Amino acid sequence: MKKDTRKIVTLGLLAALSLAIYAFESILPPVIPVPGIKPGLANIIILFTLKRFGKKEAGSVLLVRLLLSAFLFGNATSLIYSAAGGFSALLIEIIFDKILSGNHLCLTGAFGGLFHNIAQLLVAILIMQSTPIFFYAPYLCISGIVTGLFTGFATHFLLKIKIPET
Protein backbone atom coordinates (compact mmCIF):
# COMPACT_ATOMS: atom_id res chain seq x y z
CA MET A 1 0.00 0.00 0.00
CA LYS A 2 2.74 2.41 1.00
CA LYS A 3 4.72 1.51 -2.07
CA ASP A 4 1.71 2.18 -4.29
CA THR A 5 1.26 5.63 -2.84
CA ARG A 6 4.89 6.47 -3.43
CA LYS A 7 4.62 5.31 -7.03
CA ILE A 8 1.50 7.38 -7.66
CA VAL A 9 3.15 10.45 -6.18
CA THR A 10 6.29 9.91 -8.25
CA LEU A 11 4.29 9.46 -11.45
CA GLY A 12 2.28 12.58 -10.63
CA LEU A 13 5.50 14.54 -10.18
CA LEU A 14 6.84 13.17 -13.46
CA ALA A 15 3.64 14.22 -15.26
CA ALA A 16 3.92 17.70 -13.73
CA LEU A 17 7.58 17.93 -14.75
CA SER A 18 6.72 16.84 -18.28
CA LEU A 19 3.94 19.43 -18.44
CA ALA A 20 6.28 22.15 -17.16
CA ILE A 21 8.91 21.32 -19.79
CA TYR A 22 6.20 21.27 -22.46
CA ALA A 23 4.92 24.68 -21.34
CA PHE A 24 8.41 26.15 -21.27
CA GLU A 25 9.10 24.78 -24.74
CA SER A 26 5.94 26.26 -26.21
CA ILE A 27 6.90 29.81 -25.19
CA LEU A 28 10.32 29.56 -26.84
CA PRO A 29 10.51 31.29 -30.22
CA PRO A 30 10.73 28.83 -33.14
CA VAL A 31 14.41 28.21 -33.93
CA ILE A 32 13.72 26.63 -37.30
CA PRO A 33 10.59 28.10 -38.90
CA VAL A 34 9.00 24.85 -40.01
CA PRO A 35 5.74 23.77 -38.38
CA GLY A 36 6.21 20.75 -36.17
CA ILE A 37 9.90 21.22 -35.41
CA LYS A 38 10.34 21.40 -31.66
CA PRO A 39 13.02 20.21 -29.23
CA GLY A 40 10.56 17.69 -27.75
CA LEU A 41 12.23 17.78 -24.35
CA ALA A 42 9.02 16.67 -22.59
CA ASN A 43 9.52 13.26 -24.15
CA ILE A 44 12.62 12.77 -22.00
CA ILE A 45 10.27 12.33 -19.05
CA ILE A 46 8.08 9.87 -20.96
CA LEU A 47 11.05 7.76 -22.01
CA PHE A 48 12.41 7.94 -18.46
CA THR A 49 9.07 6.75 -17.06
CA LEU A 50 9.00 3.92 -19.59
CA LYS A 51 12.46 2.76 -18.54
CA ARG A 52 12.02 3.24 -14.81
CA PHE A 53 8.40 2.09 -14.35
CA GLY A 54 7.04 0.45 -17.50
CA LYS A 55 4.62 0.77 -20.40
CA LYS A 56 1.39 1.43 -18.52
CA GLU A 57 2.99 4.07 -16.32
CA ALA A 58 4.60 5.86 -19.29
CA GLY A 59 1.25 5.79 -21.10
CA SER A 60 -0.56 7.29 -18.11
CA VAL A 61 2.02 10.06 -17.61
CA LEU A 62 1.78 10.86 -21.32
CA LEU A 63 -2.03 10.90 -21.24
CA VAL A 64 -2.09 13.22 -18.22
CA ARG A 65 0.38 15.57 -19.87
CA LEU A 66 -1.54 15.60 -23.17
CA LEU A 67 -4.89 16.34 -21.54
CA LEU A 68 -3.55 18.97 -19.15
CA SER A 69 -1.56 20.74 -21.87
CA ALA A 70 -4.61 20.78 -24.14
CA PHE A 71 -6.79 22.24 -21.38
CA LEU A 72 -4.19 24.81 -20.34
CA PHE A 73 -2.64 26.08 -23.56
CA GLY A 74 -4.16 24.31 -26.51
CA ASN A 75 -7.35 23.27 -28.16
CA ALA A 76 -8.92 20.14 -29.64
CA THR A 77 -6.78 20.33 -32.79
CA SER A 78 -3.50 20.64 -30.95
CA LEU A 79 -4.58 17.71 -28.77
CA ILE A 80 -5.02 15.51 -31.86
CA TYR A 81 -1.54 16.45 -33.10
CA SER A 82 0.21 15.91 -29.81
CA ALA A 83 -1.71 12.71 -28.99
CA ALA A 84 -0.90 11.18 -32.38
CA GLY A 85 2.75 12.13 -32.04
CA GLY A 86 3.09 11.20 -28.39
CA PHE A 87 1.48 7.79 -28.55
CA SER A 88 3.22 6.75 -31.80
CA ALA A 89 6.54 7.75 -30.27
CA LEU A 90 5.78 5.79 -27.10
CA LEU A 91 4.64 2.72 -29.05
CA ILE A 92 7.79 2.75 -31.20
CA GLU A 93 9.95 3.30 -28.14
CA ILE A 94 8.36 0.29 -26.39
CA ILE A 95 8.95 -1.91 -29.46
CA PHE A 96 12.51 -0.73 -30.09
CA ASP A 97 13.48 -0.90 -26.45
CA LYS A 98 12.41 -4.54 -26.53
CA ILE A 99 14.33 -5.27 -29.76
CA LEU A 100 17.45 -3.58 -28.37
CA SER A 101 16.89 -5.34 -25.00
CA GLY A 102 17.05 -2.04 -23.14
CA ASN A 103 20.41 -0.92 -24.54
CA HIS A 104 21.26 1.90 -26.98
CA LEU A 105 18.67 4.28 -25.61
CA CYS A 106 19.70 6.99 -28.09
CA LEU A 107 18.56 4.77 -30.98
CA THR A 108 15.24 4.13 -29.26
CA GLY A 109 14.85 7.87 -28.74
CA ALA A 110 15.78 8.65 -32.34
CA PHE A 111 13.14 6.31 -33.72
CA GLY A 112 10.64 7.66 -31.22
CA GLY A 113 11.30 11.20 -32.43
CA LEU A 114 11.14 10.11 -36.05
CA PHE A 115 7.78 8.39 -35.70
CA HIS A 116 6.46 11.25 -33.57
CA ASN A 117 7.01 13.56 -36.53
CA ILE A 118 5.78 11.08 -39.15
CA ALA A 119 2.53 10.60 -37.21
CA GLN A 120 2.05 14.34 -36.87
CA LEU A 121 2.70 14.84 -40.57
CA LEU A 122 0.07 12.23 -41.46
CA VAL A 123 -2.43 13.87 -39.09
CA ALA A 124 -1.63 17.25 -40.65
CA ILE A 125 -2.30 15.84 -44.13
CA LEU A 126 -5.62 14.42 -42.91
CA ILE A 127 -6.73 17.59 -41.12
CA MET A 128 -5.60 20.06 -43.77
CA GLN A 129 -6.75 17.77 -46.62
CA SER A 130 -3.70 18.79 -48.52
CA THR A 131 -0.89 16.54 -49.73
CA PRO A 132 1.78 19.19 -50.48
CA ILE A 133 2.45 19.21 -46.73
CA PHE A 134 4.41 16.09 -47.53
CA PHE A 135 7.17 18.43 -48.72
CA TYR A 136 7.96 18.99 -45.05
CA ALA A 137 8.77 15.30 -44.58
CA PRO A 138 12.57 15.60 -45.06
CA TYR A 139 12.80 18.50 -42.59
CA LEU A 140 10.68 16.64 -40.04
CA CYS A 141 12.66 13.44 -40.63
CA ILE A 142 15.99 15.08 -39.80
CA SER A 143 14.63 17.09 -36.87
CA GLY A 144 12.85 14.07 -35.41
CA ILE A 145 16.00 11.95 -35.51
CA VAL A 146 18.25 14.69 -34.11
CA THR A 147 15.95 15.71 -31.27
CA GLY A 148 15.16 12.04 -30.60
CA LEU A 149 18.87 11.23 -30.28
CA PHE A 150 19.15 14.00 -27.72
CA THR A 151 16.09 12.68 -25.87
CA GLY A 152 17.70 9.25 -25.73
CA PHE A 153 21.04 10.57 -24.48
CA ALA A 154 19.37 12.75 -21.86
CA THR A 155 17.26 9.83 -20.63
CA HIS A 156 20.34 7.62 -20.48
CA PHE A 157 22.01 10.04 -18.06
CA LEU A 158 18.78 10.77 -16.18
CA LEU A 159 18.35 7.07 -15.44
CA LYS A 160 21.60 7.12 -13.47
CA ILE A 161 19.94 9.38 -10.91
CA LYS A 162 18.38 7.43 -8.10
CA ILE A 163 15.07 8.66 -6.73
CA PRO A 164 15.44 8.82 -2.91
CA GLU A 165 13.63 5.98 -1.22
CA THR A 166 12.54 7.85 1.91
**Residues binding another protein (CB under 8 A):** 26, 29-30, 33-36, 77-78, 81, 96, 99-101, 103-104, 107, 110-111, 114, 124, 127-130, 132-133, 135-139, 141-142, 145
Using the minimum distance from each CB to another protein, give the nearer residue, 1 or 76.
76
Using the minimum distance from each CB to another protein, give the nearer residue, 16 or 95.
95
**b/e burial code for range 23-52 (CB count within 10 A of at least 16 → b):** eeeeeeeeeeeeebbbbbbbbbbbbbbbbb
Rounded Cα–Cα distance for residues 90 and 85 (Å): 9
Rounded Cα–Cα distance for residues 19 and 67 (Å): 10
**Residues 134 and 103: beta-carbon distance below 8 Å:** no
Using the minimum distance from each CB to another protein, give the nearer residue, 11 or 118.
118
Minimum CB–partner distance for residue 142 and another protein (Å): 5
Using the minimum distance from each CB to another protein, give the nearer residue, 63 or 80.
80
Minimum CB–partner distance for residue 16 and another protein (Å): 23
